[in-house]
């Protein structure tokens, strides 16, 4: 089960930036947020630790609601 749009948007922006440490931190947060997110969070962590940026980005984009791409400006 994938997290809600707000969390997915954070992950997408981290993936686009290539921020693997940020992905790992967000994955840990998601696992604590809801047990249902643990398998998804574990996959994110695995990809981030392997520096598999393209696979990580594809995974996050796949789970975006309606494959929606949302960019936030910080």
pTM for the structure as a whole = 0.83
Is 90 exceeded by the pLDDT of residue 15? yes
Asked whether 15 and 43 are in contact (CB, 8 A), the reply is: no
Residue extents of the structural domains in the chain? 5-66
Give 21 or 66, the one with higher predicted confidence. 21
Q: Which residues of 48-74 are buried (b: 16+ CB within 10 A; e: fewer)?
A: beeeebeebbebbbeebeeeeeeeeee
Residue 65 CA, chain-centre distance (Å), reads: 13
Quote the pLDDT of residue 66: 67
Asked whether 71 and 13 are in contact (CB, 8 A), the reply is: yes
């Amino acid at each position: 089960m994938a997290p809600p749009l707000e969390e997915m948007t954070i992950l997408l922006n981290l993936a686009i930036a290539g921020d693997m440490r940020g992905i790992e931190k967000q994955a840990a947060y998601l696992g604590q947020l809801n047990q249902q997110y643990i398998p998804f969070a574990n996959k994110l962590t695995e990809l981030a630790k392997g520096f598999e940026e393209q696979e990580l980005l594809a995974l996050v984009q796949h789970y975006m609601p309606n494959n929606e791409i949302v960019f936030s400006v910080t």
